[in-house]
Amino acid sequence: MRVRHLVVLMLLLLLVSRGLAAQGLPTAPPELLGLAPDRLERIVTLVQEAVDRTEVAGAVTLVARLGRVGHLEAVGWRDIERDAPMETDTLFRIASMTKAVTSVAVMQLYEVGALLLRDPVSQYLPAFARMEVLTPPEAGGAEYTLEPARRPITIRHLLTHTSGISYRFLSPPYLAPYYVDAEISDGLSQTEGTIGEMVDRLARLPLAHQPGARFTYGLSLDVLGRVVEVITGETLADYMTAEIFEPLGMVDTTFYVEAAEAARFASIYRPRGDGIARLPETPVVSADRRTIYSSSYPYDGPQTYFSGGAGLSSTISDYARFLQALLNGGELDGARILGRRTVQLMTRDHLVGLGVPDTGQRFGLGFAISGDPGLTGGPRSEGAFGWLGFFNTVYWVDPEEQLVAIIMRQLYPNDGSQLTDKFEVAVYSAILD
> Which residues, other chains included, contact 373 with Cβ-Cβ below 8 Å and sequence gap of 6+?
379, 380, 381, 382
Q: Which pLDDT band holds residue 142 (cuts at 50, 70, 90)?
A: confident
What is the average per-residue pLDDT within 418-431?
97
Q: Which pLDDT band holds residue 416 (cuts at 50, 70, 90)?
A: confident
The whole-angstrom separation of Cα 316 and Cα 92 is 8
In a domain, 152, yes or no: yes
Does an H or E element contain 145, and which? strand 145-148
The reply to whether 222 and 119 lie within a common domain is yes
Residue 258 buriedness (CB in 10 A; 0-12 / 13-18 / 19+) = exposed
State how many domains the chain has: 2
pLDDT at 421 over 80: yes
What is the radius of gyration, based on Cα positions, of the chain? Answer: 21
pTM above 0.85, yes or no: yes
Q: Which pLDDT band holds residue 139 (cuts at 50, 70, 90)?
A: low
Helices (H), 357-408: 373-376
The reply to whether 23 and 61 lie within a common domain is yes
Structural domain boundaries, residue 249: 2-98+241-270+306-429
Q: Count other Cβ atoms within 10 Å, centred on residue 104.
A: 23
pLDDT at 140 over 80: no
- Cβ(337)–Cβ(331) below 8 Å: yes
The reply to whether 363 and 406 lie within a common domain is yes
Chain-centre distance for alpha carbon 364: 13
Closest CA to 256 of 198, 319, 313, 189: 313
Within 13 Å and on the Cβ side, how many CA atoms surround 259?
Answer: 4
Closest CA to 251 of 298, 314, 203, 201: 314
Give CA angle at 24 (393, 8), nearest 5°.
Answer: 105
The whole-angstrom separation of Cα 176 and Cα 123 is 27
DSSP E strands, 262-420: 269-272, 275-278, 284-285, 292-293, 313-314, 331-332, 335-336, 368-369, 385-388, 393-398, 403-408
Does an H or E element contain 72, and which? strand 68-79
The reply to whether 210 and 266 lie within a common domain is no
Strand-pair partners of 69: 27, 64
- pLDDT (tens digit, 9 = 90+) per residue, 6-51? 444 444 444 443 333 347 999 999 999 999 999 999 999 999 999 9
What is the average per-residue pLDDT within 283-309?
97
In a domain, 276, yes or no: no
- Alpha-carbon distances, residue 97 vs 54, 127, 222, 308, 350 (angstroms): 25, 27, 13, 10, 19
The whole-angstrom separation of Cα 289 and Cα 66 is 46
The reply to whether 53 and 137 lie within a common domain is no
- Cβ(152)–Cβ(163) below 8 Å: no
The whole-angstrom separation of Cα 72 and Cα 78 is 16
In a domain, 70, yes or no: yes
**Omega into 413 within 30° of 0, i.e. cis?**
yes
The reply to whether 226 and 208 lie within a common domain is yes
What is the average per-residue pLDDT within 82-102?
98
Give the per-residue pLDDT at 2.
52
Does an H or E element contain 230, and which? helix 220-232
DSSP code, position 314:
E
Give the per-residue pLDDT at 14.
43
In a domain, 143, yes or no: yes
Does an H or E element contain 51, and which? helix 37-52
Closest CA to 102 of 390, 351, 309: 309
The reply to whether 357 and 258 lie within a common domain is yes
What share of the chain in percent tops pLDDT 70? Answer: 94
The reply to whether 334 and 372 lie within a common domain is yes
The reply to whether 204 and 259 lie within a common domain is no
The reply to whether 219 and 250 lie within a common domain is no
- pLDDT (tens digit, 9 = 90+) per residue, 340-372? 999 999 999 999 999 999 988 999 999 999 999
The reply to whether 75 and 130 lie within a common domain is no
- pLDDT (tens digit, 9 = 90+) per residue, 236-295? 999 999 999 999 999 999 999 999 999 999 999 999 988 999 999 999 999 999 999 999
pLDDT at 212 over 60: yes
The whole-angstrom separation of Cα 206 and Cα 209 is 9
The reply to whether 200 and 263 lie within a common domain is no
CATH of residue 82: 3.40.710.10
- Cβ(406)–Cβ(316) below 8 Å: yes
Q: Average the pLDDT over each of 2-16, 80-94, 125-139 and give the range with the smallest value.
A: 2-16
In a domain, 286, yes or no: no
Chain-centre distance for alpha carbon 318: 13
Helix, strand, coil in percent for the chain, rounding step 5: 35, 20, 50
Give the per-residue pLDDT at 138.
81
**Residues 298, 316, 381, 389, Cα dihedral to 10°:** 20
> Which residues, other chains included, contact 348 with Cβ-Cβ below 8 Å and sequence gap of 6+?
364, 369
Chain-centre distance for alpha carbon 413: 17
